[in-house]
Amino acid sequence: MKNTDSQTTDGAFQLKLSLFYVVLFLSVGCYLPYFSIWLKSQGLNGDQSSIILAAPMIIRIIFTPIVSIWADYEGNYRKILIILALGSLLSLCFMSQINGFWAIFIIASINAVFGSSLIPLTETMAVIGVKINQLRYGRARSWGSAAFIAGSLLTGVLVDIYGPDIILPFLIFAAIGIVCAAFYLPPPQGKGRLRDAVSGGKISWDGVFGLLRHPVFWVFLIGTGLGQACHAFYYGFSSRLWQDFGYSGWLIGVLWTIGVVSEILLFMYLGDFLRRFNPVYLIIVGAFAACLRWLFMGIEPDLWVVIFLQILHAFSFGLAHLGAMYFIGMAVPDRLSATAQGVYSTISMGVFMGIAVLISGPLYDAVGSSGYFVMAAIAGASVLISLYLLAAWNEGKVVEDKLSS
């Protein structure tokens, strides 16, 4: 008998997952460039803003591993995504009704409990879909990048027209879209590829602990964590710096768009090609590009130089991100994929990024653009550790997962 589950899911799965990427990154396209500006409009200084911006990253340290292991154990990623999306929407609605540092900090932290696991769990579905459902990861991920562009440009225009108060309503609007798209994701069905791509099945706890004990996996986490953390000053305070330089909201959106367009082109046209290479090479080149990018950003270059440096985002983030995703796909069994993604998100976007964001606020207040020099040093450390990873990894599984009985 033909497996209709396998036959009918390929195109539908990619379409529904791509739609989820779109609404998810529409929200990120508003949050990342402009939430710091919204915090400034609420009267918060650099130190206070850095604490609130770091809250989601610190929260990841505790909750993302819990959610990820829960998702692998539950075996239904769609169900978990729906719960997370609803919690994120409700917390944003509460945030629209409050003001003051402590109230915003508390609600932002609650929002992080739900929102911090949305991207790693979505990436898990995509990485498994690459192998099981013949999903083209670069193409699916590029839809998210395109939505990021739309979110940043649209928010920039709205900020110019209505002021920073429009930022939070836009985030709520995007959160509603995330909830709807989560319900639209395909549920596990039958025994074909669709079920494998949207569910994790039972896991072996020996496999989980074996993964967490493996030294090569920790070298990977530290190298990629530093590579992501070096973007903290850019994510948290580049928009404020550009606003200080007199750039309009629209121009700030354009600058963010240039970086993401370059990322899209990389994902769309080189993503599949780059899978042929050892993924650690991609991580190393990405960290080296980040080091160069932040060194030049630190000297407050002219606008045309900033535009060129934004193009380097394709390498400093995009190439390194592809390398990390492909490493997890090669080095980690599918049934531990969500756990690996959760731990990766916890270390890179939690521990390392959280610390880097916390120091970015005082750097912004004290030295302005020179804070980028600290980020360049962090990127340099990522290069060195990733070179060690290249020598230590044999391109095989770091742990074998034995199915629990």
pLDDT, one tens digit per residue, over 53-105 is: 888 777 777 787 778 778 777 777 888 999 999 999 999 999 999 989 999 99
For the entire predicted model, the pTM comes to 0.76
User: Which of 69-73, 205-209, 308-312 reaches the highest mean pLDDT?
Assistant: 308-312
pLDDT over 90 at 148, yes or no: no
The CATH code that applies to domain 12-392 is 1.20.1250.20
Alpha-carbon distance 220 to 75, whole Å?
26
Q: Are 291 and 376 in contact (CB under 8 A)?
A: yes
SS3 43: coil
Please report the pLDDT score of residue 204 as a whole number. Answer: 54
Please report the pLDDT score of residue 129 as a whole number. Answer: 63
Please name the residues in contact with 86: beta carbons below 8 A apart, sequence gap of 6 or more: 114, 179
pLDDT over 80 at 194, yes or no: no
- How many C-beta neighbours within 10 Å does residue 209 have? 11
**What are the tens digits of pLDDT across the range 228-263?**
999 999 999 999 999 888 899 899 999 999 998 898
Specify the DSSP class assigned to residue 187: P
pLDDT confidence of 266, banded at 50, 70, 90? Answer: confident
Domain boundaries defined on the chain: 12-392
Mean pLDDT calculated for residue range 116-135:
71
Please name the residues in contact with 258: beta carbons below 8 A apart, sequence gap of 6 or more: 307, 310, 311, 313
* Average pLDDT value over all residues in the chain: 84
pLDDT confidence of 13, banded at 50, 70, 90? Answer: confident
Alpha-carbon distance 4 to 340, whole Å?
31
Please report the pLDDT score of residue 192 as a whole number. Answer: 44
pLDDT over 80 at 211, yes or no: no
- Top-confidence residue, 271 or 173: 173
Alpha-carbon distance 393 to 361, whole Å?
36
- How many C-beta neighbours within 10 Å does residue 70 have? 17
Which residue is it, tokens 């896991």?
A: 203
pLDDT over 90 at 131, yes or no: no
